[in-house]
Structure 1
Amino acid sequence: MHAVDVGTGTPLFLLHGFGVDHRLLLPLDPVIGAADGWRRIYLDLPGTTGTPIGEVASTRDVVDAVEREIAERIGDEPFAVLGNSFGAMVARQVAHDLRPRVLGLATLAGVFVAEHARRVVPPQTVLRTDPRASATAGAAAEDYAEMAVVQSVESARAFLEHVQPGLDAADARQPLLIGCV
């Protein structure tokens, strides 16, 4: 499994959401790094940049792959885990499965109902538009507009740096991983 391993100290595994890669979480690094004492391990989940999908066919398979990667990287050492969106669902299961070793769990915009058809969510509401943002996003303007609720040149640049590369690099064969973990 591809990973970006930064810093020293207590291992903190960071798991991105569905369809993107570790770059989505890199903006957190200056803040976590400033806290000192954290070894940040940004994993690319199966089907994303640098991590082929292989035999993964379910969310449980993703969890198993993450748990194997944790064991390979740190053995029996205690660790913390942070997950975003789909990665939060995976992180919760990892924390459950390995709870005697888990020092903490954090989730950002965590998925609780994996199957899209069963989700109850409000319609997207764009709080601020900026026509310069779409121009900045260029060829990625449609993907950007689908996600951005506060549109600005700065958020479009962040999207191009931290989101779009993962969208572009995702394994096109990546199945829709849904269901119980």
Structure 2
Amino acid sequence: MEAVVSGVPVHFVEHGSGTPVLALHGAGVDHREIAGGLEPMFARIPGFRRLYPDLPGMGRTPAHASLNSNDDVLDLLLGFIDGTIGDEPFLMIGQSYGGYLARAVAHLRPQAAGFALICPIGAHTGSVPKHEVLVSSVSPAGLDAESEASFRSYFVVQTDETLKRFQQFVAPAASLVDEQGLARIFSQWELRDRPESAARYPRPVLVLVGRQDATAGYADGLALARDYPRGTFAVLDRAGHALLHEQPALVQAFLAEWIERVREDQAPVRAGSRLP
């Protein structure tokens, strides 16, 4: 599907019906990575309309010439929400770069009923551990040298299952990345209205970080606790920046509990606007 926002065609995939859930993927991939991690859970939890856009310069959404900063990307997302969701209460799930954008959206759209972050990246990255492979029990036959290097540097758990997930949800997006367009956008990385400068967000939040995450680390994610009084924060061992794939059962369990907290928080809302 496609939504045109300020002249930019935003490609997205939609599944299910009910309360909208906006899911934002990380940098260098497309919607397939986060959709691959979330759809098995939503198959067991009915009543949600999942929207998976390709962020600019990735997948089938172009890094349009009008997009020169993360502020421009944020404005594009706000327009996408206005056009596809409107004033309905909605949930957000952001992975890595998508988590940075999700935090900003939550402070700018009051109908955001809660959000979850998976290995979020922020305005700046503090100390991170060195990349450490904890499990290596697979030989990635069939991968070219570049894909194998990407797999080896992304996953700290390298098994037949994680290789399968890499091949299905991560690798296919590599050839679609507009490296030059992303470099232009990311050159103005820091958002004008940083999420941490806004008032504390009062609704249910979930933040999951990988103990061995050599990209975003885990300390910065935990530091967000001061901004989110209704937040659950968890550091998961045996997981790096590919946490979504390395600990899928735990990620889905935490997300399911977060959804229940959002439902509970929305219970007093007038009939017709509450979550299912």
Report the TM-score when normalising by structure 1. Answer: 0.91
Letter in 1 for 2:91: A
- Specify whether residues 138 and 156 from structure 1 end up closer, same or farther in structure 2 by C-alpha distance, changes over 3 A only: farther
Q: Percent identity?
A: 35
- Specify whether residues 62 and 80 from structure 1 end up closer, same or farther in structure 2 by C-alpha distance, changes over 3 A only: same
Shift of 1:74: 1.7
Return the alpha-carbon distance in structure 1 between the equivalents of residues 34 and 179 of structure 2.
22
Considering fraction of residues, name the structure with more helix.
Answer: 1
Return the alpha-carbon distance in structure 1 between the equivalents of residues 178 and 122 of structure 2.
24
Return the alpha-carbon distance in structure 2 between the equivalents of residues 119 and 165 of structure 1.
30
Q: Which residue matches 2:173?
A: 166
Over residues 84-140 of structure 1, what are the superposed CA-to-partner deviations in whole Å (9 max), with x where a residue is unaligned? Answer: 000000000000111x201111100001244xxx531111111011342x2253441
Letter in 1 for 2:126: R
- Specify whether residues 131 and 5 from structure 1 end up closer, same or farther in structure 2 by C-alpha distance, changes over 3 A only: closer
Q: Which residue matches 1:76?
A: 87
118, 131, 134: which is aligned to 1:124? Answer: 131
Return the alpha-carbon distance in structure 2 between the equivalents of residues 131 and 111 of structure 1.
29
Return the alpha-carbon distance in structure 1 between the equivalents of residues 20 and 107 of structure 2.
17
Q: 1:131-150 maps to which residues of 2 (within 5 A)?
A: 131-132=138-139, 134-139=140-145, 140-150=147-157
Return the alpha-carbon distance in structure 2 between the equivalents of residues 56 and 92 of structure 1.
20
Letter in 2 for 1:62: V
Residue 49 (str. 1) matches residue 59 (str. 2): yes
Residue segments in structure 2 that go unaligned for 5+ positions in a row: 1-9, 193-276
117, 120, 125: which is aligned to 1:110? Answer: 120
191, 199, 212: which is aligned to 1:180? Answer: 191
Shift of 1:56: 1.2
Letter in 1 for 2:150: D
Return the alpha-carbon distance in structure 1 between the equivalents of residues 58 and 152 of structure 2.
22
Letter in 1 for 2:12: A
Q: 1:9-24 maps to which residues of 2 (within 5 A)?
A: 9-24=18-33
Greater alpha carbon shift after TM alignment, 84-93 vs 162-171? 162-171
133, 140, 162: which is aligned to 1:155? Answer: 162
Report the TM-score when normalising by structure 2. Answer: 0.61
- SS of equivalent to 2:34: helix
Residue segments in structure 1 that go unaligned for 5+ positions in a row: none
Return the alpha-carbon distance in structure 2 between the equivalents of residues 128 and 103 of structure 1.
38
- SS of equivalent to 1:156: helix
When Rg is computed on C-alpha atoms for both structures, the one with the higher figure is 2
Over residues 7-44 of structure 1, what are the superposed CA-to-partner deviations in whole Å (9 max), with x where a residue is unaligned? Answer: 00000000000111001112211202311111000010
Letter in 2 for 1:160: Q
- SS of equivalent to 1:105: strand
Residue 97 (str. 1) matches residue 103 (str. 2): no
- SS of equivalent to 1:145: helix
Kindly indicate whether the alpha-carbon contact (under 8 Å) linking 1:7 and 1:33 is maintained by their aligned counterparts in 2: no
